[in-house]
Structure 1
Amino acid sequence: MGADAMSGWISRFPSLADVADPLLRSSLSAVRVMELPSGATVFRGGDPCRNYLLVLEGSVRVQKVSESGREILLYRVESGQSCILTTACLLAGEDYAAEAVTETPVRAVAIPLGLFHEAMGASRPFREFVFRAYAERITSLILLVEAVAFGRMDVRLARCLLERAGDGAELNTTHQDLATELGTAREVISRLLKEFERTGLVRLQRGRIILDDSAELGRIASGAGGNTP
Structure 2
Amino acid sequence: MIDAPAGDALFALYPILARLPEAARDRLRSRARIIGVPAGTTLFDERQACQGFPFVLSGSIRVIKAAPNGRELPLYRVTPGETCIISSACLLGQAPYNARGVTEAETRLLLLPVEDFQALLAETAFRDFVFQLFSERIADLMQLIEEVAFRKLDQRLAALLLGKGTRIHTTHQHLADELGSVREIVSRLLKGLAEQGLVALSREQVEILDPAGLRRLAGG
* TM-fit CA distance, 1:2: 4.6
Matched, 1:197 2:194: yes
SS at match of 1:81: coil
- Residue 54 of structure 1 corresponds to 55
SS at match of 2:138: helix
Matched, 1:187 2:184: yes
Matched, 1:93 2:74: no
- The residue correspondences of 1:1-229 to structure 2 (distance < 5 A) are 1-2=2-3, 5-17=6-18, 19-30=19-30, 31-120=32-121, 122-163=122-163, 165=164, 168-223=165-220
Q: Is the 8 A contact 1:72 1:183 kept in 2?
A: yes
Segments ≥4 residues shifted beyond 6 Å? none
* TM-fit CA distance, 1:20: 4.4
Q: Is the 8 A contact 1:23 1:123 kept in 2?
A: no
Task: Note the residue ranges of structure 1 that are not aligned, 5 or more in a row.
Answer: 224-229
* TM-fit CA distance, 1:188: 2.3
* TM-fit CA distance, 1:105: 0.7
Q: Is the 8 A contact 1:24 1:126 kept in 2?
A: no
Superposed CA offset, 1:113-159 (max 9, x none):
01000000x20000001111121011111111121111121221111
Task: Note the residue ranges of structure 2 that are not aligned, 5 or more in a row.
Answer: none
Q: Is the 8 A contact 2:20 2:125 kept in 1?
A: no
Q: Is the 8 A contact 1:203 1:212 kept in 2?
A: yes
SS at match of 1:116: helix
* TM-fit CA distance, 1:218: 2.2
Superposed CA offset, 1:79-104 (max 9, x none):
11101110110000011111111111
Q: Is the 8 A contact 2:39 2:106 kept in 1?
A: yes
Q: Is the 8 A contact 1:27 1:119 kept in 2?
A: no
SS at match of 2:48: coil
In structure 2, do the counterparts of structure 1 residues 8 and 183 end up closer, same or farther at CA, with 3 Å as the change threshold?
closer
For normalisation by structure 2, the TM-score amounts to: 0.93
Q: Is the 8 A contact 1:46 1:97 kept in 2?
A: yes
Q: Is the 8 A contact 1:74 1:144 kept in 2?
A: yes
* TM-fit CA distance, 1:8: 2.6
Quick one: distance in 2 between partners of 1:4 and 1:180?
36
- Residue 226 of structure 1 corresponds to none
SS at match of 2:13: coil
In structure 2, do the counterparts of structure 1 residues 189 and 88 end up closer, same or farther at CA, with 3 Å as the change threshold?
same
For normalisation by structure 1, the TM-score amounts to: 0.89
Q: Is the 8 A contact 2:20 2:123 kept in 1?
A: no
Tell me how many residue pairs correspond in the alignment: 218
Quick one: distance in 2 between partners of 1:103 and 1:119?
29
Superposed CA offset, 1:167-207 (max 9, x none):
x3111222222122112232321221111101111111121
SS at match of 1:109: strand
* TM-fit CA distance, 1:215: 2.4
Matched letter for residue 184 of structure 1: S
